[in-house]
């Protein structure tokens, strides 16, 4: 099967990690570092809507999973995630420089593992069809650290057991051994700097345009 060709002028970076790993904060910090080096950048977020659905369910003193059921919840999240990834992927084809995807389809595969669901056909098919990322980075963080971060931001709730199971699910994904694993237990600045170094080495091999 032939996949959709990517833009050769774009370095595609995918950020993965459990809730509380600091993906969005690190991505935004990285954007500032790249911009300071006059590298054209763009950040795309690809949420699955789980936090929004849980906020809705909290009005009824429940969780989205308990109200909707595992399969319905997964179907809704998958639809939202796929639409977000497709939109960001095709928008990235018009960009130059470094494009960072905050979350991707693999996030839904990890959630499915935690929930005891199969990978299905759609997401694995799309992962083969869409342009392959040049770099997939997993922000590795201790579940207790992630749990404390989630509690401090007070916008959502996760159990320590869920975070531990999600971390294990990510690490069991096919191709995880090809991911770059970065320590996410420290500050966003230090993690972003380590990620910047990885990207800088990739950029040094390619003549990407600067702004």
Instruction: Summarize the annotated binding site for ATP as residue ranges.
Output: 17-24
What gap in Å lies between CA 201 and CA 145, rounded to an integer? 29
β-sheet bridge partners, residue 182: 139
Classify residue 49 as exposed, middle or buried by CB count within 10 Å of its CB (0-12, 13-18, 19+).
middle
What gap in Å lies between CA 198 and CA 59, rounded to an integer? 43
- Quickly tell me which residue has 């790993």 as its tokens: 21
- Quickly tell me which residue has 């774009």 as its tokens: 10
* Strands (DSSP E) found in the chain: 10-16, 41-45, 97-102, 135-140, 180-183
Q: Which residues are annotated as a binding site?
A: 17-24
What gap in Å lies between CA 94 and CA 33, rounded to an integer? 22
């Amino acid at each position: 099967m032939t996949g959709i060709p990517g833009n050769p002028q774009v370095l595609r970076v995918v950020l993965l990690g459990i809730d509380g790993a600091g993906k969005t904060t690190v991505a935004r910090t990285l954007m500032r570092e790249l911009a300071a080096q006059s590298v054209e950048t763009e950040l795309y977020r690809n949420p699955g809507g789980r936090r929004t659905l849980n906020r809705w369910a909290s009005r009824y003193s429940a969780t989205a999973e308990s109200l909707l059921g595992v399969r319905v919840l997964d179907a809704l999240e998958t639809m939202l995630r796929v639409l977000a990834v497709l939109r960001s992927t095709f928008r990235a084809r018009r960009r130059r420089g470094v494009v960072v995807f905050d979350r991707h389809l693999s996030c839904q595969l990890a959630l499915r593992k935690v929930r005891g669901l199969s990978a299905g056909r759609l997401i694995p098919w799309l992962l083969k069809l869409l342009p392959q990322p040049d770099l997939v980075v997993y922000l590795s963080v201790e579940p207790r650290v992630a749990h404390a971060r989630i509690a401090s931001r007070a916008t959502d709730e996760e159990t320590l057991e869920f975070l531990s199971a999600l971390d294990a699910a990510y690490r069991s994904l096919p191709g995880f051994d090809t991911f770059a694993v970065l320590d996410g237990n420290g500050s966003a600045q230090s993690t972003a700097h380590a990620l910047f170094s990885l990207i800088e080495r990739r950029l040094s091999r390619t003549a990407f345009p600067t702004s």
